[in-house]
Chain A
Amino acid sequence: MLDLQVPLLAAKALLLLLLFAFIYAVVWRGIGDLREVPEDETFVPGKPDDQRDRRPAHSETRSAAPSAASSGTNGRSQNGFSELVVENSEVLAPSTRFRLASGTTSIGRSGASDIILKSDDFVSGKHAKLTRHGGLLYVEDAGSTNGTYVNDRKAVGATPLRSGDRVRVGSTTFRYAE
């Protein structure tokens, strides 16, 4: 009996091993696109030209690079803090500046938001939030109905901002300035 059992057992073990090898191979390939996002962005403040050459983290930010570079100096804020400047809005005066404190800044229609967009029907109560992490400012949609757009492309997940990028929430477009 032994001569029959041993190869069968080996075949069984090999089959299970191969099944998991397949899963391993597939998952390894599948998480490849997660690994593409660099762990630590080599971002040096005050060197906007370097940013242009930097390979963007993922597809959502790809179109961001040219406009970031073109705005060069006018993307700088005068006082050295990062700010959101209103470019175009139905509810806020143009050129209104919002200084971004460290930590999280929320944008929304509700009175509890840091940046309040009152009476804009296309803005959700809690619309978007800006988070500073590792020297970069990330904008993230907070489950809004109409979405948050960075340079006219819908932001999916946390999207890093570069100086000069345009963030649109409802009818309001902000320019990000560092």
Chain B
Amino acid sequence: MTQRATLPMTIALLITTLGFATLIFVQEAASPPLIYGAYYAGTMIAVYLGVRLWLPHSDVLLLPIVTLLTGVGLVVIYRLTFAGAEAENLAITQAGWILAGSGILVCVVLFFRDYQKLFAYKYLLAVAAVALVASTFTPLGYEVNGARLWLRVGPATFQPSEFARIALIIFFAGYLAEKRDIWAATSRSFLGIQLPALKYFGPIALVWALSLGLLVFEKDLGSSLLFFAVPLLMLYAATGRIAYVILGTMLFAVGSFVTYLMFDHVQLRVATWLDPWSDPDDAGFQITQSVFNIADGGITGTGLGSGFSQTIPEVQTDFIFSTIASELGLLGATALLLAFLVFVYRGMKIALVADDDASKLLAFGLTAMFAMQTLIIVGGVTKAIPLTGITLPFVSYGGSSVVGNFILTGLLLVVSEKAGKRAAEDESTLYSSREKTA
């Protein structure tokens, strides 16, 4: 029997509609072309229904949550960029990216239903991931705000690291599932920590070090953090050995210290985090404005369109959470974080019920990345940890990020479909045997 989640879908679209209605009312602006809103709602409903049709056993809650997150993101992006001349375009561009992401999600669902084939190409995917990250050093790459993360191919520009991540997680899932016994039980030790032989250790260490090193030189701190933490978490999930986490944390401490000494921009980030008020008009401007705006929101927020968060530089990408906390208040921000939490819970549940080790690790890795990304940016804008530029999944403005997260959701859906189908088959054989006895 196909599960449905019509109610959450309806509420998510209602929230988006109400948000736009409030904004049009408050800003007394001419309404944006309403047809775009209709496109958006139509896209999400079509994707939801399509997935229910093609993958009837897949997880039913992921898409309603994606609808809520992208919807809230659209409302906030529209609110932030409406004033400017070219600004109105950003919400419309974002709607375009959501459409593209949904299209790719449908492709993943249709063509990668047998996703286990992907594990056969894991080394190719690892090479592709490193090549993608390295591609920004070619003449095609260019710098934005001092970080060389962008690639321009013809008219399209994108951030290759967003896609490299997913390829890397597939590689780690396939590789670790194949070799986990060796990683878990091994007798060689180094500094009191048992390590497997180099021939098993090598591929992982190489891919890990290469992607990390490249990112650090591209000055993409947020992605470096993700590329470091997610494989480590997957290694722990595969082996259950805390020693790897300890070793990884030690490596992280040494690595961060070395990058701190080597790069000025890392020193600046840490200094700004520790004391943004020493230079509130320049280096500390972004973070102090963010904290002021979050405080301004209070419990229930200033109401959509009434806050002042548009003063934060890069507010529609990295600092979108500040706007949400400012205009929807503690309650709204909490609700949004709860939505992220439910997404992560569903992802972990998919990992638990998935068929084999590689699928479990894939679902776990994708979910861990999603969770880490949210943690890093929300921690950054609330000044809990040093700020590293990264997007809030699905909410922030950004084409590569939105499309990448739609691919992630698509993969989670196909993994859950396979597990759900098996559970349903088990159940039906059980019922048929029951009829025989009766």
Answer whether A8 and B303 are a contact pair too, CB < 8 Å, given A16-B331, A20-B331, A62-B427: yes
- B434 and A145 contact, CB distance less than 8 A: no
**Complex interface: chain B residues within 8 A of A62 (CB):** 423, 426-427, 430
Number of residues on chain B facing chain A (CB within 8 A): 50
Nearest-CB distance from B220 to chain A (Å)?
A: 32
- A145 and B22 contact, CB distance less than 8 A: no
Q: Mark A130-154, 1 if CB is under 8 A from B, else 0.
A: 0000000000000101100000000
**Complex interface: chain B residues within 8 A of A19 (CB):** 15, 328, 331-332, 335-336
Nearest-CB distance from A4 to chain B (Å)?
A: 9
**Complex interface: chain A residues within 8 A of B342 (CB):** 23, 26-27, 30
Task: Please tell me if A93 contacts chain B, counting CB pairs below 8 Å.
Answer: no
- B8 and A25 contact, CB distance less than 8 A: yes
How far apart sit A55 and B434, CA to CA, in the bound complex (Å)? 9
DSSP majority for the B interface? helix
- B335 and A16 contact, CB distance less than 8 A: yes
Among A24-74, those with CB < 8 Å from B are 25-27, 29-30, 33, 49, 52-53, 55-56, 59, 62-63, 65-66
Task: Please tell me if A7 contacts chain B, counting CB pairs below 8 Å.
Answer: yes
Which residue of A has the minimal Cβ distance to B434? A53
- B301 and A12 contact, CB distance less than 8 A: yes
- Of the four ranges (under 10, 10 to 19, 20 to 34, 35 or more), the interface on chain A belongs to 35 or more
- B434 and A22 contact, CB distance less than 8 A: no
Contact of B25 among A11, A15, A30, A146 (CB under 8 A): A11
Q: Mark B182-224, 1 if CB is under 8 A from A, else 0.
A: 0011000000000000000000000000000000000000000
Answer whether A8 and B26 are a contact pair too, CB < 8 Å, given A14-B18, A16-B328: yes
Among B224-255, those with CB < 8 Å from A are 239-241
How far apart sit A18 and B26, CA to CA, in the bound complex (Å)? 19
Task: Please tell me if A101 contacts chain B, counting CB pairs below 8 Å.
Answer: no
Which residue of A has the minimal Cβ distance to B4? A29
Answer whether A18 and B181 are a contact pair too, CB < 8 Å, given A8-B303, A62-B430, A145-B239: no
Answer whether A21 and B25 are a contact pair too, CB < 8 Å, given A16-B300, A56-B430: no
How far apart sit A176 and B148, CA to CA, in the bound complex (Å)? 62
Nearest-CB distance from A162 to chain B (Å)?
A: 13
Answer whether A15 and B181 are a contact pair too, CB < 8 Å, given A20-B335, A23-B342, A30-B346: no
**Complex interface: chain A residues within 8 A of B239 (CB):** 145
How far apart sit A56 and B429, CA to CA, in the bound complex (Å)? 12
- A30 and B345 contact, CB distance less than 8 A: yes
How far apart sit A30 and B60, CA to CA, in the bound complex (Å)? 9
Task: Please tell me if B118 contacts chain A, counting CB pairs below 8 Å.
Answer: no
How far apart sit A65 and B428, CA to CA, in the bound complex (Å)? 13
Which residue of B has the minimal Cβ distance to A145? B184
Q: Mark A76-99, 1 if CB is under 8 A from B, else 0.
A: 000000000000000000000000
Contact of A143 among B12, B240, B300 (CB under 8 A): B240
- A22 and B8 contact, CB distance less than 8 A: yes
- B185 and A16 contact, CB distance less than 8 A: no
Which residue of A has the minimal Cβ distance to B7? A25
Nearest-CB distance from A121 to chain B (Å)?
A: 7
Which residue of A has the minimal Cβ distance to B302? A12
Answer whether A12 and B300 are a contact pair too, CB < 8 Å, given A19-B335, A19-B336: yes
Contact of B329 among A16, A49, A55 (CB under 8 A): A16
Among B250-294, those with CB < 8 Å from A are none
How far apart sit A26 and B15, CA to CA, in the bound complex (Å)? 14
Among B100-139, those with CB < 8 Å from A are none
Answer whether A15 and B339 are a contact pair too, CB < 8 Å, given A53-B437, A56-B430, A145-B239: no
Task: Please tell me if B352 contacts chain A, counting CB pairs below 8 Å.
Answer: yes
- B68 and A22 contact, CB distance less than 8 A: yes
How far apart sit A53 and B22, CA to CA, in the bound complex (Å)? 56
Task: Please tell me if B383 contacts chain A, counting CB pairs below 8 Å.
Answer: no
Nearest-CB distance from A148 to chain B (Å)?
A: 13
Which residue of B has the minimal Cβ distance to A14? B18
Task: Please tell me if A156 contacts chain B, counting CB pairs below 8 Å.
Answer: yes
How far apart sit A122 and B8, CA to CA, in the bound complex (Å)? 46
Nearest-CB distance from A103 to chain B (Å)?
A: 26
Contact of A59 among B15, B241, B423, B438 (CB under 8 A): B423
How far apart sit A20 and B68, CA to CA, in the bound complex (Å)? 12
Answer whether A146 and B181 are a contact pair too, CB < 8 Å, given A8-B22, A33-B349: yes
How far apart sit A51 and B329, CA to CA, in the bound complex (Å)? 53
Q: Mark B317-361, 1 if CB is under 8 A from A, else 0.
A: 000000000001101100110110010011001001100000000
**Beyond the given A19-B328, A27-B338, A30-B346, could you list 20 further A-B residue pairs with CB under 8 A, ordered by the A residue number?**
A8-B25, A8-B303, A11-B18, A11-B21, A11-B22, A15-B15, A16-B300, A16-B301, A18-B14, A19-B335, A19-B336, A21-B11, A22-B8, A55-B430, A59-B353, A62-B423, A63-B426, A65-B430, A146-B185, A156-B352
Which residues does B use to contact A, with CB under 8 Å? 5, 7-8, 11-12, 14-15, 18-19, 21-22, 25-26, 60-61, 64-65, 68, 181, 184-185, 239-241, 300-301, 303-304, 328-329, 331-332, 335-336, 338-339, 342, 345-346, 349, 352-353, 423, 426-427, 430, 433-434, 437-438
Which residues does A use to contact B, with CB under 8 Å? 7-9, 11-16, 18-23, 25-27, 29-30, 33, 49, 52-53, 55-56, 59, 62-63, 65-66, 121-122, 143, 145-146, 156
8 tightest A-B CB contacts, nearest first: A19-B335, A62-B426, A22-B11, A59-B423, A145-B184, A12-B303, A25-B8, A11-B22
16 contacts between A and B (CB under 8 A): A11-B304, A15-B15, A19-B15, A19-B336, A22-B64, A22-B68, A25-B7, A25-B11, A29-B8, A29-B61, A30-B61, A49-B437, A56-B430, A59-B423, A59-B426, A145-B240
